[in-house]
Amino acid sequence: MSIMDAQQSQEPANAAGQGGESAQGRYVEPGKAFDRDMRYFATRITADGRDGYPVEAGRYRLIVLHACPWANRAIIVRRLLGLEDAISMGIAGPTHDARSWTFDLDPAGRDPVLGIERLQEAYFRRVPDYPRGITVPAIVDTRDGAVVTNDFQRMTLDLSTEWTAFHREGAPDLYPQAQRAEIDDLNRWLLHHVNNGVYKAGFAGSQEAYEEAYADLWKSLDILEDRLSRSRYLMGPSITEADVRLFPTLVRFDPVYAGHFKCARKPIAAMPNLGGYLRDLFQTPGFGDTVDLQHIKEHYYAVHRDINPTGIVPVGPDMTSLLEAHDRDRFETATWGAGTAPEPPLRAEVVDPAHTPLHVTGR
């Protein structure tokens, strides 16, 4: 495939409009509604290697940051499927310089596998002077250091369906064949009305655009509140890809989206079904133990200077309520389907204990 299968323009895009969390550009266009750019490197890593990138253990590196909800999905799926030994993971810091996400969490400020200071370098190895936002999650080929894909929607599905040879024993089926059409429909709806809905409100450039986005977001959250009054998870008794896509938005809602993106009506924690569902998933291995609440706040409040010009990062809120009891076990439950819970995270990937209410020990 060509190196820019999905590229249609050489003009720099609004950073916030990129598919994942981006490190460049403006976030709010005065007078306009927020419009997310959904163009990516469409190249896929597949079992048959039809795009030139075959599934191969140890060849690829997943680049994420804990702050990003889109990257959080990839972290969760990699962990649930037990792909840690097959796909290494690099973690960028929660903020960035003028050019790109930086590996300031690593010694000497360089990713220890790719040897780069900024994710931008991997994009430029694929397309010199890549003109669009530098987004995460991204999967990089360690052979040439170039980005293979930043298609955050396809990425997690391929981890489930193309990487089966390297799934751990007992890995759950997050994308069961019989439910795929319904999961796809639900995921499209979640993207436009909830996952991206908070951004439509937060990056609205007019009062009218903001109020329209706010109303649609809360109408959608009310629909989810009702849906979760009938089953433990979105698709029934077992966790699926749909839950992986909703959780990162919900866990960021009260500490960030409610205030920073002006999405507040009531806390998610106060909603009987959504709040219980959030607590349930947060306490489930592979979900809450991937969440770095401090990095989340640092990213949104420090980076989005057009809506938080001081860059002040709030101290609160107290998120220990995520550990409170829930009543989700009142429903029929087969959390992992025919599979089992994942192992604890790798020691090097354990979230800083000061950044989470969970106590997690790595392996």
Neighbours of 260 (CB within 10 A): 19
Is the separation of the CB atoms in 352 and 292 below 8 Å?
yes
Residues contacting residue 107 through CB under 8 Å, at least 6 positions apart: none
Burial 150-180 (b: 16+ CB within 10 A, else e): bbbbbbbbbbbebbeebbbeebbbbbbeebe
Strand 60-64 to 138-141 pairing: antiparallel
Which class for 40: exposed (0-12), middle (13-18), buried (19 or more C-beta within 10 A)? buried
Please tell me the distance from the alpha carbon of residue 120 to that of residue 116, in angstroms, as a whole number.
9
End-to-end CA distance of the chain: 39
Q: Which three-class secondary structure state does DSSP give residue 8?
A: coil
130, 199, 233, 257: which one is catalytic? 199
Establish whether 218 is an annotated binding residue: no
Site of tokens 């530098």: 134
66: nearest Cα among 269, 244, 288, 340: 288
What's CA 181's distance to the chain center, in Å?
A: 22
Q: Write phi, then psi, for 18 (nearest 5 degrees).
A: -75, 165
Catalytic, 300? Answer: no
At a CB cut-off of 8 Å and minimum separation 6, what does 336 contact? 170, 172, 238, 239
For residues 360 and 363, give the distance between their C-alpha atoms in angstroms, rounded to a whole number. 10
Kindly provide the residue ranges of all beta strands, DSSP E only, lying in 295-360, ordered along the sequence.
none
**What is the Cα–Cα distance from 31 to 44, expressed in whole angstroms?**
37
User: Are the CB atoms for 32 and 205 separated by under 8 Å?
Assistant: yes
Which residue in 223, 250, 221 sits closest to 326, CA to CA?
Answer: 250
* Catalytic status, residue 68: yes
Catalytic residue among 68, 123, 263, 277: 68
Which residues contribute to the annotated binding site? 101
- Residues tagged active-site: 68, 199
Which residues contribute to the annotated binding site for glutathione? 101
